[in-house]
Amino acid sequence: MGKNTLTIAMVCGETSGDILGAGLIQAIRKKYPDSHFLGIPGPQMIAAGCEELYPMERLAVMGFGPEVLRRIPELLGIRKRLAQQFIQDPPDVFIGIDAPDFTLSLERSLFEARIPTVHYVSPSVWAWRQYRVKKIVRSMNLMLTLFPFEPDFYKQFGLEAKFVGHPLADQMPLEPDKATLRAKFGMAEGEPWVALLPGSRSNEVKRLAPVMLQTARYLVQKRQDFRFVIPCANARAREQIEAAIVAEGQGLAIKLLDGQSREVMTAADCILLASGTATLEGLLAKTPMVVTYKLSPFSYWLMKKLAKVKHVSLANLLAEEPQIPELLQDDAQPAKLGEAVLYWFLDKNRTKKSIETFYQIHTQLRQGASERAAAAVLELIGK
């Protein structure tokens, strides 16, 4: 390990992993500028200097459904060829970034071939489908985690894991400039603005947009000056939301925007949103939230059977005590959701305490994730 250049193989499967990978490449290059990165990168990783062996888009169909079944032979072929290439010409380290359905089996092949292997972003095995941890432990030398409670979970199974912090916490300001953003979106001082985020996937928007608009109508019945803003995740979501407004939102004061969800959440007084990564963004924006979600009856039953945690939102999982209401499935009703939103406006003391907790969590997650991840990788391979 005396050489001054490194060969680092990497695979990522989606946009969030591409951001992590690009940051990691840049951090490693600060110490080893001539290092060679190769594998399956996203566009940001390519821009940072990673050689593309296969396009990331080829992995973007993991899941279920007829199209995925047709693509399985191709995906297995890519994984087999990558394993053969890296075993024949070993890199100094392999880093799988998220995308566990694809990367974990590849990591296991390389780990068994004694190639140092790292996985960046822990699968949510602590939350559900915990049986997967056995495969994880047999597949890698090191897990890099985004959340501080995850290393202790892996320690009980004998896997080394290091908390590096969350890149979103590095990107988003600790002190959000809400006044500037409210001015940008035309949110007058004193007007109560609620951001509605029904998700980005078509089935999420289909299930949640109508009930969120019904909740908006409930709120206006309680207080006529409520205003609403919906940042549409994509063109398809906008079409669905516009159709839902025609059916459920006539006469409501609604501002539709394309994208800008992070800024909208920061500017709003309260957020009603689908469970997911957006709940972490809402926490980092220091904005009160109400979380909801609806699944098919069978999917919800299955999730309940497999779940190992009491809460679905990261804001509640990261706090010592639950901070935000979670109204799921049968509880996702306009009156219940509306009362949960209203409570943030009525109980100012509770709002203040929760926002203080959000600041504490933000500080805890704001660690310089890329630099810490790079340091952990270099330590593993003895650099």
What pLDDT is stored for residue 233 in this prediction? 87
Which tokens in the block code for residue 236?
A: 């398809």
Distance CA 357, CA 317 (A): 12
Which tokens in the block code for residue 359?
A: 């600041």
Reply yes or no on whether the pLDDT at 239 is more than 70: yes
Helix (H) or strand (E) holding 254, with range, is strand 254-258
Reported as a single tens digit per residue, the pLDDT across 55-113 is: 988 776 544 445 556 778 888 899 999 999 999 999 999 999 988 888 999 999 999 99
Distance CA 120, CA 124 (A): 12
Distance CA 161, CA 159 (A): 6
Nearest to 160 by CA among 203, 126, 117, 201: 117
- Rounded to 10 deg, the angle between the 334-346 and 202-222 helix axes is 60
| Percent helix, strand and coil across the chain, each to the nearest 5 | 50, 15, 30
Q: What is the mean pLDDT of residues 339-356?
A: 94
What pLDDT is stored for residue 133 in this prediction? 85
17 falls in which pLDDT band (50, 70, 90)?
confident
Helix (H) or strand (E) holding 293, with range, is strand 289-293
How many Cα neighbours within 13 Å face the side chain of 5? 5
Reply yes or no on whether the pLDDT at 298 is more than 80: no
7-165+367-380, CATH topology level: Rossmann fold (3.40.50)
Distance CA 293, CA 308 (A): 18
Q: What is the mean pLDDT of residues 236-247?
A: 94
Reported as a single tens digit per residue, the pLDDT across 105-125 is: 999 999 999 999 999 999 876
**Residue type (1 letter), 4:** N
Nearest to 178 by CA among 326, 273, 313, 288: 288
Identical fold for domains 7-165+367-380 and 178-365, yes or no, is yes
Reply yes or no on whether the pLDDT at 296 is more than 80: no
So what CATH class is 178-365?
alpha beta
* Number of other residues whose CB lies within 10 A of the CB of residue 297: 10
Taking the domains of the chain in order of start, what are their residue ranges? Answer: 7-165+367-380, 178-365
* Mean pLDDT over the full length of the chain: 89
Reported as a single tens digit per residue, the pLDDT across 304-332 is: 655 665 767 788 888 878 889 999 888 99
What pLDDT is stored for residue 63 in this prediction? 43
Which tokens in the block code for residue 343?
A: 């409570």
Distance CA 347, CA 288 (A): 11
